[in-house]
Amino acid sequence: MIRLIIFDLDDTLYPEIEFVMSGFKAVAKAISQDFDFDTNKIYALLIEAFKEDKKFVFNRVLKYLKIYNEDYLNKLIFLYRTHNPEIHLYKDAEEMLPYLKEHFLLGLITDGFPTTQRLKVEALNIERYFDGIIYTGEKGENYSKPSIFPFIDMLNEFHIQSDEAIYIGDNIEKDFKGPKALGMVSIRVIRNGIYKNSISPGKDFDPDYVINSLFELDNLLNKL
């Protein structure tokens, strides 16, 4: 019998691209104010650079603008990570979280810069739904997915056996290996997200089930 449902955050409960675009707006505004550029043009440059390659976007844009400076780069990274994001839950998450809260314990395990992830949770107004939240960045590098450690901690917190819990994520490269290793049921929700084209490194990374929407959970849970 399932008693605990653990969720991933980014691209599982909300579209992560919204956070990226929100951060780019904040950064574009800062660059424009500091160097008298047009905000819209800087924003467009950031988006174009991101579409070309998701890595080192700020570095490349600053070099293109001939204003690269490592201290200024670090300032922009900090701004990006700590801005108040404009993000919204997926429709299915918005409806299913309060429904699931009535029937199960709910947990959230999320990687990333802890302050950033906390700001996302606050912006989405979802802390009220979760009985436990683990920000792996506060625990150390060995806690980042696909580590088993955050899942062990959450199971222990609620005194729940692994076969009484399920984990729902989206990223096949890291989300499912940890919970599967512990004997938890793992479910991938297909999203049109940043890592939608990620490739499984091996069978132990594959989820047990795949769904196209959280609305499908009700039927699936009845079968488990």
Together in a domain, 117 and 149: yes
- Shared domain check, 69 and 136: no
Which of the listed residues 82, 113, 137 is the one where a domain comes to its end? 82
List beta partners, residue 189.
211
- Same domain for 130 and 155: yes
Note whether 87 and 122 are within 8 A (CB): no
Q: CA 81 from chain center: how many Å? A: 13
- In this structure, the answer to whether residues 60 and 164 fall within a common structural domain is no
Q: How far is CA 40 from its chain centroid?
A: 27
**Token duo for residue 120:** 């996302």
pTM of the model: 0.94
pLDDT attached to residue 50: 96
Intervals of the chain under pLDDT 70? none
- d(CA 152, CA 149) in angstroms, rounded, equals 5
Residues in contact with 220: Cβ distance below 8 Å, sequence separation at least 6, in sequence order: 187, 209, 211
What is the structure's pLDDT at 103?
95
What is the per-residue pLDDT for 199? Answer: 81
Note whether 68 and 172 are same-domain residues.
Answer: no
Contact at 8 Å (CB) between 108 and 93?
A: no
Strand order in the sheet with 185-189: 132-135, 105-110, 4-7, 165-169, 185-189, 209-211
User: For residue 166, what are the domain limits?
Assistant: 4-15+88-222
